[in-house]
Chain A
Amino acid sequence: MPKLNNSSDPLALQTDVLILGGGPAGAWAALAAAEAGARVVLADKGYLGTSGATAPSNTGTWCVAPGENRQQNVDQRWQRTSGLGDKRWMLRSVDRTYENLLKLAEWGYPFPHDEDGKLYIANLRGPDYMAFMRRRVLRAGVTVLDHHPALELYSDGDAITGAAGLDRQRNRDWRVDAKAVVLATGGCAFGERILGGSTLTGDGYLMAAEAGASLSGMEFTGKYTLAPHGSSLNKGLPFRWATFYREDGTPILDSTGAPLSNGIGEREKEIVNAMIEAPVFAKLDMADPALQGWLRQGQPNCFTPYDRMGVDPFSDLFRVTFKAEGTVRGTGGIRVATSDCGTDVVGLYVAGDAASREHLTGAVSGGGAVNSSWAIASGWWSGQGAADYAKHQESRRFGAISRPLGEAGLRPASSLKTGLTPKDVIESVRAEVIPLDKNYYRNGTGLLASRDRVEAVWRDVRDHLSAEGLDRVRSREAASIVASGRWSLTAALARQESRGMHRRTDFKASNDALTRNIILTGVDSIRVSGETESRKDLAS
């Protein structure tokens, strides 16, 4: 077998639309931009087809057919957003998602049939879905660059003009001049070992903020999902049929004295409380034999840990843990400023978990359905928006006057500091934003102390962290994780109330005056502002 070339000649391309990220949002953006007639390059940190949180998993979508009381469905869902949802965005996302799911069916994606023999399009099996999307994207003529992590954006001072990064399997730099860029880089998992977590390091947030884009909802990072202890399987669904115990088999009782069961939804908090005290064990013994079969066949990835451990989860006790999910199943991200998913920065678009999802799901998690629909809808709109914008930039010249925007982790403010490693940086941030007793339950004193510690790490990174060659990917990931943690803590301090997944023990109730988004602008110096009115520029 031949070895890969180790060419040091940089790759230089010019295109209309550059998409960063190869999960579902990036794939849909690529298809929409190509359909609109744009030349499209998609660069992914990993591999289009396996990257991101969707590919290893199995996800429902928020799928409501026209005529199935869509408005009523949106109204019901809106009640769960604790006032932060925007019904117009919700309705148009449902509509766009449905249209695109029908496209998938027309294109031949092998959906299952329901018990009535009807095609069931409300669920997508991650590996199959993303393998299918890869083939469609390639067939649409998109140039796909796998294993090409982006390091930074370029700007000519007026607009975004492209991005640069590293071809990590050939150890060479790349730069793509583009008339528009779509960030579909996913959320930030803060280094948690969850499905998709290794590539989801918040890179897009840092790149966007360096360009001047705002972030919104970064305080909503308090979402955790149960998993077999030590595993990567942050999938809540099987725990619907779980009962919970201490190690010796004693049932754990809830606040009313009844044995704890059903680990998703309302009971989650009780399990968290139990886990803060001592290890928690579970078995899925509420699933009858028919359900066991459906679980195994429908959610086979959930059973990989048990089968490999040699545990029968339907009868044996196994230890469970809560996996932190950052902004992946949280809702914060880059603020969406226009109806075509433009950001506050000209020429820069955003899709999927890289974007704030507050307008769809508010302060509660969009994991499981809303986020996957948002990836489809926002991917589509951002691709179209970027292609339309690019069409109007025919005369734009590339190159000469563009400059790179990357700072932290790439171009330190002062000298290098030995002993400062990306791994240590990430561990320091994790110590503040992962533990249940710091981040599931929050309070002002604790948040302030965490913010100060993360602030110190940030200053170190800003001033001293840098790397050469391939190591730039890791130093930039570390910079993105510490920046994301710092934004999250800043927003959590600003929201002096409890709302959805933001639980303040010092402000247990929600405050009507805070029924608004907390918007952050700036990388080193962070400006906090609120948005009271919902977006005015929504066209459709």
Chain B
Amino acid sequence: MIEIISAGRCVECDICVKVCPANVFDTTDGLPVIARQDDCQTCYLCEIYCPTDALYVAEQADGPTGITEAEVEDRGLFGVYTRALGWRRGKPGGSELDTTHYLRVAQV
């Protein structure tokens, strides 16, 4: 589930508040906050909509892992899914390079 909003990366655009389908975030006068962490469905969509790769969703869906921002930074995990998709600065991209049709042929 969502665990980290990086204060160093976040530009307070509040897009995560808007796009999270589970309404996990709240706005404040400064950085958005993770207000309802347990509602997170671990869909990673906030990460790809974030224009500055400031969010980190850990892979465990049932509860937080306690991973630190420093570890996420060290392991290069900020924005890793966004880059894999080909999205940039919160905008779609890369679907034209989807290779799933090869998998459909191979799965039979």
The residues of A with any CB-CB pair to B shorter than 8 Å are: 1-4, 45-47, 49-52, 55-56, 58, 60, 109-115, 120, 122-123, 125, 127-129, 131-132, 146-147, 168-169, 193-199, 228, 230-232, 237, 240, 264, 290-291, 293-301, 303-305, 307-310
Contacts and interface: CB of A to CB of B under 8 A. Distances in A.
Contacts of A297: 84, 97-99
Interface in B94-108: 94-104, 106-107
Interface string B71-105: 00001010011001101000011111111111110
Contacts of B5: none
Given A231-B60, A232-B61, 16 more contacts: A1-B27, A50-B20, A55-B21, A60-B100, A112-B98, A113-B96, A194-B41, A196-B43, A199-B41, A230-B62, A240-B107, A294-B106, A297-B84, A297-B99, A305-B59, A307-B80
A166 to B, nearest CB: 11
A180 B59 CA distance: 41
Interface string B14-28: 100111111100011
Contacts of A293: 99
A127 B62 CA distance: 23
23 contacts: A1-B12, A1-B30, A2-B27, A45-B21, A50-B19, A50-B49, A56-B41, A58-B100, A110-B92, A112-B99, A114-B101, A128-B93, A169-B23, A198-B39, A198-B41, A231-B59, A237-B107, A290-B102, A291-B103, A294-B100, A299-B100, A308-B77, A310-B75
B35 to A, nearest CB: 11
B45 interface: yes
B41 A232 contact: yes
B95 A304 contact: no
Interface of A, secondary structure class, is loop
Interface residues on B, range: 35 or more
Interface of B: 12, 14, 17-23, 27-30, 39-45, 48-49, 57-62, 75, 77, 80-81, 84-85, 87, 92-104, 106-107
Contacts of A264: 107
Given A1-B14, A122-B104, A230-B61, A111 B95 contact: yes
Contact of A231 (B21, B61, B87): B61
Contact of A4 (B27, B45, B59): B27
Contacts of B102: 115, 290-291, 294, 298
B85 A199 contact: no
Contacts of A50: 19-21, 43, 45, 49
Contact of B103 (A110, A299, A308): A299
A173 B95 CA distance: 38
B41 A195 contact: yes
Contact of A127 (B39, B41, B87): B87
B107 to A, nearest CB: 5
A193 B101 contact: no
A307 B80 CA distance: 9
B82 to A, nearest CB: 10
Contacts of A125: 85, 95, 98
B40 A198 contact: yes
A112 B41 CA distance: 28
Contacts of B97: 112, 297
Given A146-B18, A237-B107, A168 B45 contact: no
Among B61, B75, B102, B106, which residue has the most Cβ atoms of chain A within 10 A? B61
Nearest to B98: A112
A132 B92 contact: yes
A232 B42 contact: yes
Nearest to B22: A198
Contacts of A60: 100, 104
Contacts of A300: 81, 84-85
A266 to B, nearest CB: 13
A469 B87 CA distance: 37
Among A55, A123, A129, which residue has the most Cβ atoms of chain B within 10 A? A123
A293 B57 CA distance: 24
A50 B48 CA distance: 11
Nearest to A57: B43
Contacts of B20: 46-47, 50
Among B20, B85, B93, B103, which residue has the most Cβ atoms of chain A within 10 A? B103
Contacts of A111: 95-96
A165 to B, nearest CB: 13
Among B18, B41, B75, B85, which residue has the most Cβ atoms of chain A within 10 A? B41
A272 to B, nearest CB: 20
A58 B62 contact: no
Nearest 4 Cβ contacts at the A-B interface: A46-B21, A56-B43, A232-B42, A300-B84
Contacts of B75: 310
A294 B94 CA distance: 14
A309 B42 CA distance: 14
A296 B84 contact: yes
Contact of B84 (A4, A122, A195, A303): A303
Among B42, B48, B58, B87, which residue has the most Cβ atoms of chain A within 10 A? B42
